[in-house]
Amino acid sequence: MPAIFINPSNEVHTTLLKDLNIQNKDLRVFISDAQPREYIDSLPGKKAIGDIKDDTHISTASHGAYCSIYFEDEIENLRETFITSIKNSSTSRIIWISSLDPNDLILNLKNLVYVLIDSKIDYIKTVLELENAEAIDRNLIDLKNV
């Protein structure tokens, strides 16, 4: 099933995207136009490049994807942008990765699992398992406070 990773921004994401590309075979990436061109070019998958703060860019790029994987960093208002793009998308599964604590607006979104991380935690295996799972039975995976 098609998957899209929204907002890759570091080397962990490069590794995760390479593994997702092998696992999924139909990987898409929505990446900020503020990222360096060399980084963008190094990522596998079909790329959409645009304004990460524009929810319509994200929801349009997500069209047709079964699973959307969002990486929330500390860009101001990114949370609100992601929530709006999710509400406007047709995605069947949402994986939200963040080091910030979730709120009820996020946790109440349909078909969403929130993966709470910190910078020292390897979350690649968790995301790969969630993307590949037949069904997900919880909405919060706390890797930060394990």
**What backbone phi and psi angles, to 5 degrees, belong to 70?**
-105, 135
Domains plus CATH for the chain? 3-142 (3.40.50.720)
**Contact criterion met (CB below 8 Å) for 139 and 114:** yes
- The pLDDT profile of the chain, 146 residues, written as one tens digit per residue, is 899 999 999 889 999 999 999 998 899 999 999 999 999 999 999 999 999 999 999 999 999 999 999 999 888 889 999 999 999 999 999 999 999 999 999 999 999 999 999 878 899 999 999 999 999 988 999 999 87
Amino acid at 49: I
**Contact criterion met (CB below 8 Å) for 115 and 98:** yes
